[in-house]
Structure 1
Amino acid sequence: MELLQNLVEHSMDDDYYAVAGRQGGGRSTTASQVAVMTVLALFATLVVVAAVQTRIALPASQNERAALIVQVNEEKDIVSERQAALATLQRDVAALQETTTDATLSGVIEQQQVVAGSVPVAGPGVRIIVDNAGDADRDSRGRVLDSDLQLLVNGLWFSGAEAVAINEHRLTSLSSIRSAGEAITVNYRSLTPPYAVTAVGDPRTLQARFLETPAGLTWANLEANFGLRFDADVRPDLQLPAAAESRTVVRYAAPVRTAS
């Protein structure tokens, strides 16, 4: 404030007053002095107001920051508590599984996990490679359609397949095979040809049974008349990944409990 007072008191230096004195003190000189003093007074007022507002706003900003810090810490505590609870539940489940002595019950659980697609599987079966015809760019009938893959998969299930995957995407009862433009999606993931369809099942009968199904006969027709590629061979050790969690979790269906 001393600086502002000094600026106001000495807003016009001595040389200016000396020149003004020689030119004579008239209305123009007095008016100029008044104008300058008015501008400086307004400037000083603005500076003071800004300083006061800053001092008033500072505590509010500090309070808001402190409140946010408290809120973040509370959220961190909640997350930590839930993570700890989840870890405890996982340990409890693991302990129950380890202490289960009923071999029949364990076998049923493992079998249901395989059927549901929630665990990876390995075993013998059939690997089928299908692809577009060589002239598919000129003749759209030579393209593999989503309905062609649906037919192929259904034929494998009908022939005794226990687990099926397309391009490493495990199929379950909740899986979808659809088209999106010119691409085919499996479980809403876009795939590109060739399509590798792997099926775990009895290697002695799976392929032969499939070729006798309507699906097998249709694919034989697609290969012979439209040039689609269809190569099938028996494999002694196939490995299929687990399905995505979204494809194994039911949200509405519940088992019907009977009275004992």
Structure 2
Amino acid sequence: MVEIRSWQVGIAIVSMMLGLILVFQLRTEWRISTTLPTRQVNELAKIYGSQKMQLEKYKQENEYLHKQLKDYDRDQEIVRLRMATGLVPLRGQGIFITLTNYDKKLDNYEDPNFYIVHYYQLDLLINELWAAGAEAIAVNKNRIINTSGFSCAGTTLLVDAKRLAPPYEISAIGNPANLKKAITLPGGYVEQEILAFNLKFSMETVDRIEIPAYKGAISYEYARAVKERK
């Protein structure tokens, strides 16, 4: 009969425990080696998904801001076009002119036509203001635009088929100094064609002038818009 000594039992127990520890350690390392990359991939996938959602959000915000900017530019362009065509009322600094007939009692030999305001005098005065940099003009609260025309019916002046009666009140928005300088130029139109006939003329600079919108119809029978080439 083989005798098993106590120290042999101890060695066997220790060996078995070491074996169990070794197996447990190997299994743990295997689990770590197999689960850690998967965990990292999952975390990276979550980060990627979050960043992708954030990027999509930024793209949407960017598209929205671009649309807002385009709408703003379009709205501003529409406002500028409406201002240029006289379709909106305007206000600003400028000058106010009053022009009317000479009210002196004439002698029999004097021709009264020399002492009343004619349509061409008013027309040329308006052109002087445009040339001096006026941005908007009205005569007796009638907006003058690029297609406006002056004419006469007897002693009555017409602008865009609307009757005008003296005194003729002209409002012009623009640099007051430049407008006044052009009108009071020595030897200029006002001096030679208005003051020379003793027509009553006065002018003042104004800090705030309001000019109404053009109320007539604007139509183009022959002109057509051309698309811009990029």
TM > 0.5: yes
| Cα offsets for 1:31-54 (capped at 9, x unmatched) | xxxxxxxxxxxxxxxxxxxxxxxx
Letter in 1 for 2:207: P
Matching residue of 1:252: 222
SS state at 2:94 partner: strand
Q: CA deviation at 1:213?
A: 8.8
Letter in 2 for 1:252: Y
| Cα offsets for 1:67-126 (capped at 9, x unmatched) | xxxxxxxxxxxxxxxxxxxxxxxxxxxxxxxx8533443332212211100111111111
Q: Find the aligned partners of 1:143 and 1:195 in 2 and give their Cα distance.
A: 11
Contact 1:125-1:202 at 8 Å conserved across structures: yes
Report whether the alignment pairs 1:169 with 2:138.
no
Contact 2:121-2:193 at 8 Å conserved across structures: no
**Could you say which structure has the larger radius of gyration?**
2
Contact 1:131-1:230 at 8 Å conserved across structures: yes
Matching residue of 2:183: 210
Identity %: 26
Contact 1:136-1:142 at 8 Å conserved across structures: no
Say which structure, 1 or 2, has more relative contact order (CA 8 Å, 6+ apart): 2
Letter in 2 for 1:135: K
SS state at 2:209 partner: strand
| Cα offsets for 1:199-221 (capped at 9, x unmatched) | 1111232211333398xx22212
Q: CA deviation at 1:234?
A: 0.6
Matching residue of 1:108: 77
SS state at 1:101 partner: helix
Q: CA RMSD in A?
A: 2.2
Contact 1:136-1:143 at 8 Å conserved across structures: no
Q: Find the aligned partners of 2:128 and 2:167 in 1 and give their Cα distance.
A: 19
Of 190, 198, 209, the match for 1:227: 198
Change beyond 3 A, Cα 1:225–1:258: closer
Q: CA deviation at 1:223?
A: 4.3
TM-score, length basis structure 2: 0.63
Long gaps (5+) in structure 2? 1-66
Report whether the alignment pairs 1:127 with 2:96.
yes
Letter in 2 for 1:129: T
Change beyond 3 A, Cα 1:120–1:251: farther
If each structure's helix is expressed as a fraction of its own residues, which one has the higher value? 1
Q: CA deviation at 1:226?
A: 1.7
TM-score, length basis structure 1: 0.56
Matches within 5 A, 1:230-245: 230-245=201-216
Matching residue of 1:140: 113
Q: Find the aligned partners of 2:103 and 2:68 in 1 and give their Cα distance.
A: 56
Long gaps (5+) in structure 1? 1-98
Q: CA deviation at 1:136?
A: 7.2
Matched pairs, number? 159
Change beyond 3 A, Cα 1:213–1:122: farther
